[in-house]
Amino acid sequence: MSLDPTYLDYPLRRRGMDHDFYPWSNLFDRPPLVWPSGKPVAVAIVVDLEWFPIVPNDKPFRAPGHMVTPYPDYRHYTAREYGTRIGFYRMLDAFAKVGARVSVAANGAIAERYPQVIADIVAGGHEILAHSTDMNGTIASGLAEDEERALIAASLDALEKVAGGRPSGWLSIARSQSFNTPRLLVEAGVTYMCDWVNDDLPYRFATPAGALVNVPVNHELSDRQIITVQQNSADAYVQQMQDAYCLLAGEAKHVGGGRMLPLNVTPYILGLPYRMDAFERLLAWLAEQPGAAFHTVGEIASALP
């Protein structure tokens, strides 16, 4: 049986990623970027601050880390609550020790249920990214456009009401988007997102509603992936982040311009007592590196000319 000729007829098939969001480019061919600190490696810490409803929603998909045993799943529910009650405050103390300002990707439900947590983030000088409404607020192409638009607005509104300012950045649950998400984010006033993980530098992202910046917070460097999925120890996580820094610092020295090291961390994972010491050692080590500086995601996005 011969192949239908139309099978290979795709209007966006070309060099790159088969879409019009951005042109393909080689990292080593781009003009060098300079971070606000002037240091070669920008360390971007992104904390996922999440509220999991005790009954998960499987449409369009169940969020990673959600409840897994029959309702009521108090064991997993309270394990995640540990992050907002205990683990996150350990992290805030650790950030303060090294003078790190970080980006906190918060569900709108955190602002509604725990407004003091949002107030403490703002008081610490940290940045807030919108991270959907709660961990049932997943996005995929099966979600109606009006529902997705309302979800984005509800997340931004809830955080703005408590934080005193509307978030400019966005991180989707599981970094999942529909075909409409980038455009809807621009329409909602978002100027940068962290969902596409295909780079070590920020880049401009085109949509029918205008441009935004994508800051690639790579999931492969997250504590969820390394510790929970791959079952590595906290000490192994620290070593891998140190290795990543050394390679990026070497690249920056060799080719010129900045590099970005994203640390995506979760309070109910790294905030546990037997892991916090390793995380604090990592923060102290990074603070001691002459080529490193802590930056928020917004500062990294603003470095694009």
- Establish if 150 belongs to a structural domain: yes
How many distinct structural domains can be found in the chain? Answer: 1
Q: In the numeric block, which tokens belong to residue 128?
A: 């807030």
pLDDT given at position 20: 85
Give the domain CATH number at 273: 3.20.20.370
Distance, CA of 112 to chain centre: 21
The pLDDT confidence band at residue 16, using thresholds 50, 70 and 90, is: low
- Establish if 100 belongs to a structural domain: yes
- Establish if 65 belongs to a structural domain: yes
Average pLDDT, the chain: 95
What pLDDT digit, counting tens, does each position of 74-121 carry?
999 999 999 999 999 999 999 999 999 999 999 999 999 999 999 999
pLDDT given at position 1: 56
- Establish if 19 belongs to a structural domain: no
- Establish if 204 belongs to a structural domain: yes
Alpha-carbon distance 196 to 171, whole Å?
A: 10
Segment 187-197 mean pLDDT: 98
pLDDT given at position 69: 86
Alpha-carbon distance 114 to 10, whole Å?
A: 48
What single-letter DSSP state applies at residue 25? -
Q: What number of other Cβ atoms are within 10 A of residue 253's Cβ?
A: 12
pLDDT given at position 2: 72
- Establish if 297 belongs to a structural domain: yes
pLDDT given at position 70: 84
Beta strands in the chain (DSSP E): 41-49, 103-106, 127-130, 169-170, 192-193, 203-207, 210-214, 259-265, 292-295
Cβ partners under 8 Å of residue 107, min gap 6: 49, 50, 51, 131, 132, 133, 134, 135, 137, 155
pLDDT given at position 276: 98
Segment 174-189 mean pLDDT: 97
Alpha-carbon distance 168 to 74, whole Å?
A: 34
Segment 236-263 mean pLDDT: 96
pTM across the whole model: 0.94
Sign of the torsion angle spanned by Cα atoms 31, 35, 36, 40: negative
Residue 34 clears pLDDT 70, i.e. is over it: yes
Domain that residue 167 falls in: 34-302
pLDDT given at position 19: 82
Sign of the torsion angle spanned by Cα atoms 94, 118, 181, 188: negative
pLDDT given at position 178: 95
The pLDDT confidence band at residue 8, using thresholds 50, 70 and 90, is: low
What single-letter DSSP state applies at residue 2? P
Q: In the numeric block, which tokens belong to residue 130?
A: 């919108």
- Establish if 127 belongs to a structural domain: yes
- Establish if 52 belongs to a structural domain: yes
- Where do runs of H (alpha helix) occur along the chain? 74-82, 88-98, 108-113, 115-123, 145-163, 181-187, 223, 234-255, 267-270, 273-288, 297-302
Residue 6 clears pLDDT 60, i.e. is over it: yes
pLDDT given at position 18: 76
